[in-house]
Amino acid sequence: MTSTSGRRGLLLILSSPSGAGKSTLSRMLMDWDPTMRFSVSATTRPPRPGELDGREYYFRSRADFEAMVTSGEMLEHAEVFGNLYGSPRAPVAAAMEAGTDTVFDIDWQGGQQIKQAMRGDVVSVFILPPSITALDQRLRGRGQDSDEVIAGRMAKSRDEISHWAEYDYVLVNDDLAQTFARLQTILSAERLRRDRQPQLSAFVRSLNQEFETR
């Protein structure tokens, strides 16, 4: 499929500690630009009631998943609580060729794997909370987790925040609307990078031809 936008789609990696806002910002991006797609991961865990293959996850056996890793069909993968999770390469490559941007809501380790695999097609953004106190309050405000689970998430947050310098952009989410506006600015500018507009070479050649015919 040929891109109708005149450019290759890019891969937007959003990472943050739990509670800092990346999932909310991802949904806001989809509402702002419905042409964007959210990366659907593959997993070896069984489907839960109501989940469909290809919508929530691509459900695969461990043998099939491991075969995909071996053959280079995964952009990134990791094992979490005994189950394998990863990002299949084929849907992402098809979206890129169609000029469609893909959003990844993943941690720093997955982001590093994707950056190594896709190089210049990746834009990575890390979302920081305005303070650790605010992060704790956001997690408790959800009313979904026990104190023990929240303590675990807070402990993991310190490690995640330590990798902030590995990202292309870092945003402090002290105001959701302002943070989203900055995220829109980043994406709009990245879409206009010279190396993401392959049609420019032909356009400049046409300008030179006009010079020759004057």
Q: Residue 5 pLDDT > 70, yes or no?
A: no
Q: Read off the pTM.
A: 0.85
> In CATH, which of 3.40.1020.10, 3.40.1260.10, 3.30.930.10, 3.40.50.300 is domain 7-36+103-214?
3.40.50.300
3-state secondary structure of 214: coil
Q: What is the pLDDT of residue 68?
A: 97
Which residues in the chain are classed under CATH 3.30.63.10?
37-100
Closest to 75 (Cα-Cα) out of 93, 59, 101, 97: 93
Sign of torsion, CA 83 95 188 198? positive
In the chain, which residues fall in CATH 3.40.50.300? 7-36+103-214
Instruction: Find, among 156, 173, 160, the residue nearest to 111 by Cα.
Output: 160
Q: What is the DSSP letter of 54?
A: T
Chain segment 100-128, per-residue pLDDT in tens: 999 998 888 999 999 999 988 999 999 99
pLDDT tens column, 145-186: 788 888 888 888 999 999 999 999 999 999 999 999 999 999
Query: Residue 136: which of 57, 19, 5, 16 has the closest Cα?
Result: 19
- Topology of domain 37-100, per CATH? Guanylate Kinase phosphate binding domain (3.30.63)
Token pair of 52, please?
A: 């469909």
> Packing angle between helix 22-32 and helix 176-191, nearest 10 degrees?
60
